[in-house]
Amino acid sequence: MAMTPADDALLETTTSQETTKFLNPESYDLDNPDLFINRELSLLEFNSRVLEEAQDERNPILERTKFLAIYSSNMDEFFMVRVAGLMQQVAAKVNDVPADGLTPTEQIRDIRKKVRSNLKIMNHCYDDIKGKLADAGVYLHAYDELTDDQREGVDEYFKNEIFPVLTPLAFDPGRPFPHISSLSLNLAVFVRNPDNNLEHFARIKVPNTLPRLVPVARLNSDTQRTYRFIWLEDLIAHNLSGLFPGYEIRQNFNFRITRNADLEIEANEASDLLEVIEATVRRRRFGFVVRLTVQKDTSDPVRELLTQNLDIELEDTFESSSPLGLSGLMSLMALDRPDLKYPPYVSVIHPRFRNIESRQEIFDVIKQGDVLVHHPYDSFIPVIDFLRAAAKDPQVIAIKQTLYRAGKNSPVVDALMEARENGKQVSALVELKARFDEESNIGWAKKLEREGVHVIYGFMSLKTHSKICLVVRREADNIRRYVHLSTGNYNAITANIYTDLGLFTCKPEFGADASDLFNALTGYSKKTDYKKFLVAPTMLRPRFAELIEREINWAKQGQEAKLIFKMNALIDPAFIKKLYQASQAGVQIELHVRGVCGLRPGIPNLSDNIKVISLVGRFLEHTRIYYFHNGGDPDIYLGSADLMPRNLDRRIETLFPIEDIDLKQQLIEILTIVAADEANARILRSDGSYVRITSPTEEKNKNNSQNIFMTRAKNR
């Protein structure tokens, strides 16, 4: 849906009608639950925007396929964490409700309704994508669609590669119902014994160690640009007789479950945080079931058997006409079909680092002035070079680093280990509690420890989410500290697909703050008076409140007052109320919130000075920028924190100011370009729904901020 003049008028009318349920505009009660959007429902709205990208025919067909895979993966995590948490609250009879006033039971009810609605959209989207892929020469065949020769080929693959891996598990009085692991795809099979006509149930797990999409031999008429696949579970289903010799296959259906992954960490479980996290990751395999997904034609007896033995309510069973677990579609992005993808983009080296002949010169560049890099438009390579230079430079005596999601084959970790081999003092805080990266981080922590790196696992009660690297270098008779700070992780892979900002600086006050922060992370410290940094959970919340109050005072004086915040999520009730108060005072507020937003914009005399925009595009918007106009002398902060209770109160976060005038101007330009985006933007309405700015028939590149940033980086 696009925003046309007629739509603007309709939106104004609709918004006016919606506000009738609110209190007298002259005396709003800011604790009124109607003024807040539920977090879980807002998150579902974000996932709906991802699904819209899969439906958008302006996107290349493989990119649409990718968005459909991302949507499926996002929904898996939503159930594993968010729905699981609500179910735990219901079981524990928790009476507390969030600011929006919905009880856990009411939230689950609304979630089920929205998920079922989106499932229908997803199934239609999959059918459309499947047809469009076939038109482009990429076929997702059903077994029955294959030629005799093609069936012979895939059956041979089944015999040699799949059959040896499969393990049918029977369910009868002598053999208990098998454990079903989370997110595993399974076949529920009923077989009949011809000797006594009795039927039996067995479960077969579809192995996740094999490709989900099995290549099929091409036809003689196919070109090199043609690809053919069959779903692995479909191939298994048509070869079941080999798994149950002598038995008649009566029926088989696919099913998939999702288990609770939001496991609490008890401080008294072990004497060591590493042991606690390892035990927690192991327990995750046995979390209670929160969702059962079955194929649409699954018989009632099978549904009943599964719900009873998985101990799940019937209303938590969802049916789909598409293959279950569409995240498997992501493998198609590896196809050599650039014509079906976005035009390739290769990140460019920032001009300040472009003519460096040796890595050690990177320190000279930073000494000449702060450098701001904008990923993925600017390459992540200078960040890696910064660490590699520190590892090799004989003048460097120490490196301190936080790692939240380092990823696989991390060049950042490699550089830290190289630095240790070269005799540097190296300390790394590896956050073991980074959800779904626990096992990877445990592996990196152990590997770093074996190399002699001082590894800190973080705190039992707080996650360390700060993104900071400190390099201590001896120069002449002085010690100089070089600091890299970022809005994103030290992950070379996600740096190519997430938009983030990073700052290189050697300003003494930044170096002093970095040292104080690392001393707090590795030792004992109650320090709160940092020179430049705003650090959670101690000083970020009160200082941010002061900065918003300052804008309110500017507005009350009749001066221009403005706030521009770009972040991933806005859900903290106290700050939502503060922004309402700022709007009432006349502060102009522009919020770029990619995901969850609990604030309702556009309510007369309350939030009519607030505009909320969400961008969903080629790259994942991940930057956090906080702009305070301050009477024309703006303060701008970047960092790792969103305005959520967990970031403000239960994490160690760092926001840092941008002080260089030219860099401030760069950030203002970034915010201006983002605000003008018409291709990727949706506007939040007061009822919690989002409306596109452009129609699906308009040019996708029209004022596309991400395309503009790519072009600017190449031309710079």
Active centre residues (catalytic): 465
Q: Between vectors from CA 49 to CA 46 and to CA 51, what angle results, nearest 5°?
A: 115
User: What is the Cα gyration radius of the chain?
Assistant: 27
Q: Between vectors from CA 515 to CA 420 and to CA 410, what angle results, nearest 5°?
A: 40
Please provide the DSSP assignment of 237-297 as one string. HTTGGGTSTTSEEEEEEEEEEEE---PPPPTTS-SSHHHHHHHHHHHHTTPPEEEEEEETT
Helix (H, G, I), strand (E, B) or coil at 682: strand
Please provide the DSSP assignment of 459-521 as one string. -SS-EE---EEEEEEEETTEEEEEEEEESS-S-TTGGGTEEEEEEEE--HHHHHHHHHHHHHH
Whole-angstrom Cα distance, residue 496 to residue 484?
Answer: 18
Partnered with residue 185 across adjacent β-strands are 256
Using omega within 30 degrees of 0 as the cis cutoff, is the peptide bond preceding 376 cis? yes
Q: Which of 478, 374, 407, 412 is nearest to 713 (CA)?
A: 374
DSSP, res 79 = I
Q: Which of 663, 521, 641 is nearest to 570 (CA)?
A: 641
Strands 289-295 and 317-320: parallel
**Tokens 């459909």 correspond to what residue?**
68
C-alpha 669 chain-centroid distance: 26
Q: Count Cα neighbours of 491 within 13 Å in the Cβ-side half-sphere.
A: 22
Length of the chain: 716
Strands 478-486 and 625-628: unpaired
Q: Which of 666, 371, 351 is nearest to 507 (CA)?
A: 371
What six digits make up the tokens of 557? Answer: 């004086």
